[in-house]
Amino acid sequence: MSTPRRLLAPVVTASALALSLTACGSGAATGGADAAKPGEKIKLTVALFGDFGFKPLYEEYRKTHPDVEIVERVTKFDDHHNNLVKQLATNAGAADIEAVEVGFISTFTAQPAKFRDLKEFGLDRRKSDYLDWKWQQGLSKDGSTLLGLGTDVGGLAMCYRRDLFEKAGLPADREKVSELWPTWDAYIETGKKFTEAKVPDAKFVDSPGELFRAMVNQAPTGFYDQQDNLIAGSNPEVRKAWDTSVKVVQNGLSAKLAAFSPPWNTGFAKGSFATIICPAWMTAYIQDQAKDAAGKWDIATVPGGAGNSGGSHLMVPTQSKHPKEAAELIDFLTSKENQVKVFKETGSFPSIPALYDDPSIQGFTKPFFNDAPVGKIYSEAAKALKPQHLGPKEALVRAAFGDGIGRVEQGKQQSEEAWNQALKDAETVK
């Protein structure tokens, strides 16, 4: 796994959760010949790439669905998506429900024949629930087929260590910290001040890979244009994000810790870096890795003001023997009530805008992050989000550029050489 390539949820050991679960409880419609017979015991497999916070929901679901057994299958992020590509090609091995991260969504919505149209099961009634762009991401390219319902969005913030800022003589209050970096250039200048203070055993940021991703995501257009043409080499926003990320390396601001690697995990516990790009789902990960740092972490706004990192959809491959029941479970897992529960448990932020002003979200704080009003912070981030068109090989192209920045950081290539190689690598996966 290369340095900035690890993009989403923490890797966990593959596990199975079998639960006894009867008929629909959340309103999915007809299934016709696809529906199980009354009293028939069935098994649904849910394939994920991290802890989505669904296990307590399965327990709740079993109370009204005693005839359904749920098995949760969890694999590493890259393996999960690569396996699904192979399973669709061979028409064997896919789960009843497959989670797909936003970087891969266009890869799979381009294959509508490989998935069930969730409109068949009445889930098109959920359209009014969702952010318009999140709903659109789950449609086939021609917009005629509903292939997935969204789970979460990754509105951005910046998590930081209050204690390390204080040691560096910088403001520690979240509002004052936010004022330090209205732009990415200001963020780098703040990093220089932190570095000049020579805080023992601490760098300003974990690594530049996710910074690069965040900057690209903030642009109106990223790696692809609306016609799915790869424009990374000609888009000045991509080059600007690259050059800014390289400045992070050149100014010695990076701890050079590969995201989701064991040393990176240890870095949280040791306080090896003072800031990290922080979509909502990252808060739970930080809390898990830095158990002894309660109150030392806090959350500020991200330079540039908004952006998105991550988010997923749940889809039903045509291979499923029980698509009606799978659609019903998706409906339940993505409901308004359950998106709130998942947010409070795992930090994954809802993709349903009606929830953003809900008191249960607005008033939600996390003591671990110095009682930061995480519900309010990420609601504002989600409201400010401007969606960007994602191309058919989005995740692989991002990885090619992330790997390039990693080579610069590791001293294996100079910036221009790494940039040119990243362009070539991106062309091979487009």
Closest CA to 70 of 80, 56, 82, 84: 56
Q: Which pLDDT does position 99 carry in this prediction?
A: 98
CA distance 227 to 310: 22
Q: Which residue has the tokens 């949280």?
A: 268
Under 8 Å CB-to-CB from 28, ≥6 apart: which residues? 121, 122, 123, 324, 327, 328, 331
Bridge partners for 69 per DSSP = 20, 43
Q: Number of C-alpha atoms within 13 angstroms, CB side, residue 36? A: 24
Q: What percent of the chain has pLDDT over 70?
A: 91
Q: Per the domain annotation, does 326 fall within a domain?
A: yes
248: enclosing H helix or E strand: helix 236-250
Cβ atoms of 97 and 314 within 8 Å: the answer is yes
Q: Looking at per-residue confidence, does 229 or 12 come out higher?
A: 229
Q: Looking at per-residue confidence, does 25 or 185 come out higher?
A: 185
Model confidence at 416: pLDDT above 60: yes
Model confidence at 19: pLDDT above 60: no
Phi, psi of 96 (to 5 degrees): -70, -35
Q: Which of 294, 321, 355 is the last residue of a domain?
A: 355
Q: Per the domain annotation, does 424 fall within a domain?
A: yes
In this structure, what token pair is assigned to residue 359? Answer: 């008191």
CA distance 273 to 280: 19
CA distance 90 to 84: 10
Sign of CA dihedral 128, 150, 302, 242: negative
Q: Per the domain annotation, does 17 fall within a domain?
A: no
Closest CA to 295 of 169, 157, 163: 163
Model confidence at 1: pLDDT above 50: no
Cβ atoms of 274 and 204 within 8 Å: the answer is yes
Model confidence at 23: pLDDT above 50: no
Q: Per the domain annotation, does 16 fall within a domain?
A: no
Model confidence at 6: pLDDT above 70: no
CA distance 147 to 138: 5
Give the model's confidence band at 36: pLDDT under 50 very low, under 70 low, under 90 confident, else very high: low
Closest CA to 279 of 418, 394, 377, 392: 377
Find the mean pLDDT for residues 119-138. Answer: 96
Model confidence at 101: pLDDT above 50: yes
Looking at the fold, whether 268 and 301 belong to one and the same domain comes out as yes
Give the model's confidence band at 183: pLDDT under 50 very low, under 70 low, under 90 confident, else very high: very high
In this structure, what token pair is assigned to residue 259? Answer: 């995201």
Domain carrying residue 234: 158-309+366-429
**DSSP states of 291-319:** GGGTTTEEEEPPTTS--B---EEEE-BTT
- What's the total number of domains in the chain? 2
Q: Which pLDDT does position 20 carry in this prediction?
A: 29
Give the model's confidence band at 309: pLDDT under 50 very low, under 70 low, under 90 confident, else very high: confident
Give the model's confidence band at 10: pLDDT under 50 very low, under 70 low, under 90 confident, else very high: very low
Looking at the fold, whether 87 and 142 belong to one and the same domain comes out as yes
Cβ atoms of 347 and 309 within 8 Å: the answer is no
Q: Per the domain annotation, does 23 fall within a domain?
A: no
Bridge partners for 97 per DSSP = 46
Q: Which pLDDT does position 22 carry in this prediction?
A: 28
Angle at 248 between CA 245 and CA 249, to 5 degrees: 100
Q: What percent of the chain has pLDDT over 90?
A: 83
Looking at the fold, whether 223 and 302 belong to one and the same domain comes out as yes
Q: Per the domain annotation, does 341 fall within a domain?
A: yes
Q: Which pLDDT does position 9 carry in this prediction?
A: 37
CA distance 338 to 429: 36
CA distance 132 to 382: 12
Q: Which of 292, 325, 355 is the last residue of a domain?
A: 355
pLDDT digits (tens, 9 = 90+) for 360-413: 999 999 999 999 999 999 999 998 888 889 998 999 999 999 999 999 999 999
Looking at the fold, whether 174 and 98 belong to one and the same domain comes out as no
Looking at the fold, whether 320 and 303 belong to one and the same domain comes out as no
Looking at the fold, whether 304 and 314 belong to one and the same domain comes out as no
Give the model's confidence band at 81: pLDDT under 50 very low, under 70 low, under 90 confident, else very high: very high
Mean pLDDT of the chain: 90
CA distance 403 to 409: 10
Find the mean pLDDT for residues 149-165. Answer: 96
Looking at the fold, whether 114 and 41 belong to one and the same domain comes out as yes
Under 8 Å CB-to-CB from 33, ≥6 apart: which residues? none
Looking at the fold, whether 144 and 163 belong to one and the same domain comes out as no
In this structure, what token pair is assigned to residue 117? Answer: 């149209």
pLDDT digits (tens, 9 = 90+) for 202-231: 999 999 999 999 999 999 999 999 999 999
Q: Which pLDDT does position 35 carry in this prediction?
A: 63
Find the farthest-apart pair of alpha carbons in the chain and give their distance in angstroms, rounded.
Answer: 70
- CATH number, domain of 254, equals 3.40.190.10
> In 3-state terms, what secondary structure has residue 1?
coil
Looking at the fold, whether 263 and 202 belong to one and the same domain comes out as yes
Closest CA to 215 of 179, 194, 188: 188
Q: Which residue has the tokens 């920045």?
A: 405
Q: CA dihedral in degrees (217, 428, 138, 381; nearest 10)?
A: -10
What is the separation of C-alpha 44 from the centre of its chain, rounded to a whole number of angstroms? 24
Q: Which pLDDT does position 18 carry in this prediction?
A: 31
Say what the pTM is. Answer: 0.87
Cβ atoms of 224 and 391 within 8 Å: the answer is yes
Looking at the fold, whether 183 and 330 belong to one and the same domain comes out as no
pLDDT digits (tens, 9 = 90+) for 287-305: 999 999 999 999 999 999 8
Q: Per the domain annotation, does 37 fall within a domain?
A: yes
Looking at the fold, whether 225 and 334 belong to one and the same domain comes out as no
Looking at the fold, whether 382 and 416 belong to one and the same domain comes out as yes
Q: Which of 355, 387, 421 is the last residue of a domain?
A: 355
Q: Per the domain annotation, does 275 fall within a domain?
A: yes
CA distance 346 to 359: 19
User: Which alpha helices (DSSP H) does 197-235 contain, by range?
Assistant: 209-218
